[in-house]
Amino acid sequence: MNRILLLPGDGIGPEVTREARRVLEAAAGRFDLKLEFEEGLIGGAAIDAEGTPLSDAVVETARQCRAVLMGAVGGPKWDALGVDVRPEKGLLRIRKELGLFANLRPARMVPALVGASSLKPEVVAGLDLLVVRELTGGIYFGEPRGRSEVAGRRSACNTMVYDEDEIVRISKVAFESARKRRGEVTHVHKANVLDVSQLWVEVVEEVAKEYSDVTLSHQLVDSMAMLLLRDPQRFDVIVTGNLFGDILSDEAAELTGSLGMLPSASLGEGGVGLYEPVHGSAPDIAGEDKANPLAAILSVAMLFEHSLDAVAAAAAVQDAVAAALAEGHRTGDLVGDTGVTPVGCREMGDIVLAKLSES
Ligand code: IPM
Ligand code: MN
């Protein structure tokens, strides 16, 4: 029995998670995988109900599960709260508690969506890259951090810190991933300024010696932000720290047409994987049945692959999404100036389910 913990969260989280769950159940049924669901609170929903963005009880349940499927956290209602009690803290805590140091964010151009990107078709056609983002270290978690008063002035600090073991393990994930793809790793850093980045360059080079079949290059993060717009097709696997990975993965997502398309998997040494769309809680459209559920549904495909070892089920889900798009169905975020009438979140879920049963 495979226990799955659902953490719908805030904003559009619940609606996209609902569609993702339906697809998860349908595909599991087809491939004879037994699932059992738990549901818990995270983010603002948990703050409102339990006074904390993630309770110990939910962490405990997550540890007992094979995988966690998350929606999104955050919203204007909780924006005034300090960083330690905000909805986002719940997400950061579950990543840390489960030791999910490797965040995989694949950005692939679905052929049917080439026109939805804000970039020229010839720039983005065929785009297929994987951001491997370090997820439990760096400036997100470094100490010291916090606010203080220095000489009567408000002051605040965060610390970007990595040790070599953290860099080794994420580098290995990147090189292993590249072996299954086009065999190229681009390490993104700011080594012309940051000591931390110099250590990354050094350690990634050392790890590369064990992967002579993979080509390694290094790219400064500022120039990488530019190259992703100019020539994104040339990248295969991108490995980088927590903060740079956060920023570049949103950029990569937009290249593929919409942030609403990008799934992610967070993996670690423990047995539990966490799957979530890269997009946020989109409070402006929450509850209106306008959200794009495809990033959440594609996260289900990643769950099949990485947590249930069910590659065929993963492929079936991906194919169903591609078929729905090929037939011209679009949620509002993908419509652009095509004049297509958008479908809602639920309807897109229905369409993907129909494609899944036809395949
Ligand atoms: C992401 C999000 C999170 C992050 C936030 C919600 C804490 O932006 O998963 O990319 O910064 O990691
Ligand atoms: Mn982000």
- The residue out of 255, 289, 305 marking a domain boundary is 255
The verdict on 143 and 240 lying in the same domain is yes
Give a yes or no: residue 120 inside a domain.
no
Q: For residue 118, name the pLDDT band (cuts at 50, 70, 90).
A: confident
Residue 83 pLDDT exceeds 90: no
pLDDT at 1: 86
Parent domain of 225: 128-255
Q: So what's the pLDDT on residue 35?
A: 98
> Ligand 2 centroid to 106 CA: how many Å?
14
How many domains does the chain fold into? 2
Q: Is 246 in the pocket of ligand 1 (CB under 6 A)?
A: yes
Q: Which residues are catalytic?
A: 140, 190, 222, 246, 250
Residue 276 pairs in a beta bridge with 264
Q: What is the DSSP string of 268-333?
A: -SSS-EEEEESS---GGGTTTT----HHHHHHHHHHHHHHS--HHHHHHHHHHHHHHHHTT---HH
327 and 349 inside one domain: yes
> Atom 7, ligand 1: which residue's CA is nearest?
88
246 & 271 share domain: no
Whether pTM exceeds 0.85? yes
CATH of the domain at 293: 3.40.718.10
Q: Are residues 10 and 100 in the same domain?
A: yes
Identify which ligand lies nearest to the alpha carbon of 90.
1
Domain boundary at 255, 279, 308, which? Answer: 255
- Whether residue 199 is contained in a domain is answered as yes
Alpha carbons 240 and 197: distance in angstroms, whole number: 9
95, 130, 128, 159: which is closest to 245 by C-alpha? 130
pLDDT of 264 over the 90 cut = yes
Q: What is the pLDDT of residue 254?
A: 87
Q: Are 348 and 294 in contact (CB under 8 A)?
A: yes
pLDDT at 171 over 90: yes
Structural tokens at position 193: 């300024």
Q: Are residues 266 and 248 in the same domain?
A: no
Cα distance between residue 100 and residue 267, in whole Å:
5
3-state SS assignment for residue 190: coil
Which of 255, 290, 323 terminates a domain? The answer is: 255
Average pLDDT over residues 58-84: 96
